[in-house]
Amino acid sequence: AQKITQTQPGMFVQEKEAVTLDCTYDTSDPSYGLFWYKQPSSGEMIFLIYQGSYDQQNATEGRYSLNFQKARKSANLVISASQLGDSAMYFCAMREGPRKLIFGTGTRLQVFP
Amino acid sequence: NAGVTQTPKFRVLKTGQSMTLLCAQDMNHEYMYWYRQDPGMGLRLIHYSVGEGTTAKGEVPDGYNVSRLKKQNFLLGLESAAPSQTSVYFCASSYSQGNQPQHFGDGTRLSIL
């Protein structure tokens, strides 16, 4: 069975510092994809970044990058230069087959001045 | 640009009542999904559809039915609401390619008394 694990229920980071949010996954399928979503207090789900299992390079999107370590089955999200607006819940998700997403339980990030 | 629109945003039901949640997307996406989000559990897939006229069960389908009569709409029905169905419900849609993210609506907060 496929599974996503986010072991950090909460994280704190000071403004302008970098922070890493952990995500490990378990799958026997050689083809898979990993997504990160942000959920601010207003409730909407915002797509941040995607990493495919066959991608050779780590994905980057602006201040977001994904530290993909395939052998360790980890896909950690790195946010550089944190901003107060980054305070939110962050969910890691894995694509199961071509269609479904399996979500982790999330990490609540709080950025303080 | 509307994206994914969910109706209603809030609803309170009594046990045993029925209701339908409506999801509409204007991005011509083939795939649509219904998730529920409960505290500390991330998002769990209820049902999904890979095209007009098709539906399939997800992780937690019991007590729900769905229909996709038109490509842009995906309906989630509760025939006899139970307190355990109190949750926040999210609709999402995506293109068929596996590297494409799911786009989410703003959610429907449903309380069953």
Select the residue from B97, B104, B106 to test the A interface by mutation, using most A Cβ atoms within 10 A: B104
Is residue A96 predicted with pLDDT exceeding 80? Answer: no
Q: Is B61 on the interface with A (CB under 8 A)?
A: no
Is residue B70 a contact partner of residue B92, using CB atoms and an 8 Å limit? Answer: no
% of chain B at pLDDT higher than 90: 88
Contact A12, A113 (CB under 8 A): no
Strand order across the B64-67 sheet: B4-7, B19-25, B73-78, B64-67
Computed over every residue of chain A, the mean pLDDT equals 93
Q: Name the pLDDT band for A1 (thresholds 50, 70, 90).
A: low
Average pLDDT of every residue of chain B = 94
- B39 touching chain A per CB within 8 A: no
Query: Could you report the per-residue pLDDT of A57-91, keeping only the tens digit for each?
Result: 999 999 999 999 999 999 999 999 999 999 999 99
Q: How confident is the model at residue A94 (pLDDT cuts 50, 70, 90)?
A: very high
Angle at CA B56, nearest 5°, toward B49 and B71? 20
Strands B87-94 and B43-49: unpaired
Count of beta carbons in the 10 Å neighbourhood of residue B50: 15
B48 at A interface, C-beta within 8 A: yes
Residue A29 has pLDDT above 90, yes or no: no
The pLDDT of residue A98 is above 90: no
Q: Is residue A18 very low, low, confident or very high in pLDDT (cuts 50, 70, 90)?
A: very high
Q: Are B70 and B80 in contact (CB under 8 A)?
A: no
pLDDT, position B4: 96
How many CA atoms lie within 13 Å of B48's alpha carbon, on the beta-carbon side? 22
8 Å CB contact between B31 and B93:
yes
**Is residue A99 pLDDT above 80, yes or no?**
no
Count CA within 13 A, CB hemisphere, residue A57. 4
- Chosen for mutation from A5, A103, A107 (greatest number of chain B CBs closer than 10 Å) is A103
Confidence of residue A2 (pLDDT cuts 50, 70, 90): low
- Give the N- to C-terminal CA distance of chain A in Å, as an integer: 41
Return all residues near A109 (Cβ < 8 A) that are at least 6 apart: A10, A11, A12, A13, A19, A21, A79, A86, A87, A88, A89, A90
Q: What does the pLDDT average to over B76-91?
A: 96
The answer, yes or no, to whether residue A56 has pLDDT greater than 70, is yes
Q: Assess whether the previous peptide bond of B101 is cis (omega < 30° from 0).
A: no
Q: What percent of chain A has pLDDT over 90?
A: 85
